[in-house]
C-alpha cells in the first residue's frame, strides 16, 4: 500500500505542477514517517523516496541508526534546545526554527563539530494560538539576526496551515507565505536564500504547490492514519 500511496501522491504533485505551470523538479516530497515503524520506511524506500520527516529527535535518531545512511532526514517538529546536539551530522534540514534562543543553541552545537545547519524559519501565518512559529511581521528581524551566525544557513520558510476539510481555505495563507519569501529574498540579506518554501500536508498539498510550495510534507496520505496511543 505504501508504495502505491506514494505513486498516487506523486501523480497529484504532477497535476498540481502542470496546473500552475511549474516543473515537478521544483517540488520535493517529504514522507512524514513520525510515529510509524522503521519497517514502513523500508517499504517506502522501494519507491525511491529518500526524504523523510520526523517531529521527535529521539525517534529520528533511532530510525537513523537502523536505516540506510542515504536517507535525508527532515526535522519538522517543535525543537527543544537540549535536543539540538543529537541532530548534528544527521539532519538534512531543520524546518522549525522560530526563536533566536533556539538558533543560538543550533549555532553552538554545530560549531562544536564544525558543521553547518540548514534551517527554515517557521511562520505561523494563520496566527493560530495552538501553533508554534513567529508572525510574518517578526520574520525579517529574526532572519537578520540569525544570518550573522557562522554555522547556520537559512534556506527559506516553513508553515503549518490550519487543519481543514477544504484546502481552498488555506490558499490565502500559502499565498501570503510566498509573498513573504519573495519580499525577504528581495532584501538580499547575506547568507540567506529563500529557495525553499515548505508548506502543504495531506489535506492541502496540491493547493500549496499551486501557490509556490517547493517542499510538501505528506504523512497520512502515504502511511495512513497515525495512532498516538501506542
Closest distance between ligand PLP and the C-beta of residue 200, in Å? 9
Q: Is 201 in the site for ligand PLP (CB under 6 A)?
A: yes
Q: Which of residues 160-199 bind ligand PLP (CB under 6 A)?
A: 160
Between 135 and 220, whose beta carbon lies closer to ligand PLP? 220
Q: Which of residues 70-89 bind ligand PLP (CB under 6 A)?
A: 76-77
Instruction: For 218, list phi and psi in degrees, rounded to 5.
Output: -115, 120
Closest distance between ligand PLP and the C-beta of residue 122, in Å? 9
Stretch binding ligand PLP (CB under 6 A), from 2-10, 59-67, 186-194, 218-226: 218-226
Q: Is 32 in the site for ligand PLP (CB under 6 A)?
A: yes
Under 8 Å between Cβ of 221 and 180 = no
CA distance 205 to 122: 17
DSSP string, 139-163: HHHHHHHHTT-TTEEEEEEE--PPP
Closest distance between ligand PLP and the C-beta of residue 109, in Å? 22
Q: Is 34 in the site for ligand PLP (CB under 6 A)?
A: yes
> Which contacts (CB < 8 Å, 24+ apart) does range 172-175 have?
173/125, 173/126, 174/199, 174/200, 174/204, 174/207, 174/208, 174/210, 174/211, 174/212, 174/213, 175/211, 175/212
Chain residue at closest Cβ approach to ligand PLP: 219
Reduce the DSSP state of residue 42 to 3 states and report it.
helix
Q: Is 217 in the site for ligand PLP (CB under 6 A)?
A: yes
Interface positions with ligand PLP (CB under 6 A): 32, 34, 55, 76-77, 160, 201-203, 217-221
Amino acid at each position: 500500500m505504501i508504495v502505491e500511496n506514494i505513486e498516487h501522491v506523486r501523480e497529484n504533485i504532477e497535476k498540481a505542477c502542470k496546473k500552475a505551470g511549474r516543473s515537478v523538479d521544483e517540488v520535493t516530497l517529504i514522507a512524514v514517517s513520525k510515529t510509524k515503524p522503521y519497517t514502513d520506511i523500508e517499504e517506502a524506500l522501494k519507491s525511491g523516496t529518500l526524504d523523510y520527516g520526523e517531529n521527535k529527535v529521539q525517534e529520528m535518531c533511532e530510525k537513523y541508526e537502523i536505516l540506510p545512511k542515504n536517507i535525508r532526514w527532515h526535522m519538522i517538529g517543535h525543537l527543544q534546545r537540549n535536543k539540538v546536539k543529537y541532530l548534528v551530522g544527521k539532519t538534512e534540514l531543520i524546518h522549525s526554527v522560530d526563536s533566536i534562543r533556539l538558533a543560538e543553541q543550533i549555532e553552538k552545537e554545530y560549531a562544536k563539530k564544525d558543521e553547518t545547519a540548514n534551517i527554515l524559519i517557521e511562520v505561523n501565518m494563520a496566527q493560530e494560538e495552538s501553533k508554534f512559529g513567529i508572525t510574518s511581521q517578526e520574520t525579517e528581524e529574526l532572519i537578520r539576526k540569525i544570518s550573522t551566525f557562522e554555522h547556520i544557513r537559512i534556506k527559506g520558510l516553513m508553515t503549518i496551515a490550519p487543519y481543514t476539510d477544504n484546502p481552498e481555505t488555506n490558499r490565502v495563507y500559502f499565498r501570503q507565505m510566498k509573498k513573504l519569501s519573495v519580499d525577504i529574498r528581495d532584501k538580499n540579506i547575506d547568507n540567506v536564500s529563500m529557495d525553499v518554501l515548505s508548506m502543504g500536508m495531506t489535506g492541502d498539498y496540491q493547493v500549496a504547490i499551486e501557490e509556490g510550495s517547493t517542499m510538501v510534507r505528506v504523512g497520512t496520505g502515504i502511511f495512513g492514519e497515525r495512532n498516538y496511543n501506542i
